[in-house]
Amino acid sequence: MSAVRSRRIEVTFRHPFRLPGFLNAEPAGVYAVEIEEEQIGGMNTIGFLRTATWFNVPALGVKSSVSRAYPITQEELDSAWEADQTAGGKEQPEK
């Protein structure tokens, strides 16, 4: 049986943005992204393979009676984040 781990990162968007499959643009803010990974490897090497990435809305700190998590690929997240960045000096979301 493989071990599964979950971790959470936060991604900041400085401008309204739209992710693939979203009907409306999301407002600027800090968003939680949940990453699920499964342990792979043998006796000598162990690694983790990403099995799912979930983008949570609304943004952190926004009061809402409804919270949802949407599946997203790392490429979609990277593309949306890069499009949001108009000035240099920002780190890319964790991979």
**Is 91 or 16 the better-scoring residue by pLDDT?**
16
**Is 13 or 88 the better-scoring residue by pLDDT?**
13
Its pTM stands at: 0.80
What confidence score (pLDDT) does residue 1 get? 63
Instruction: Specify the 3-state DSSP secondary structure of 33.
Output: strand
Query: Could you read off the pLDDT of 34-91 as tens digits, one per residue?
Result: 999 999 887 788 899 999 999 999 988 888 888 899 999 999 999 999 999 864 445 5
DSSP 16-32: -B--TT-SSPBPSEEEE
What confidence score (pLDDT) does residue 14 get? 92
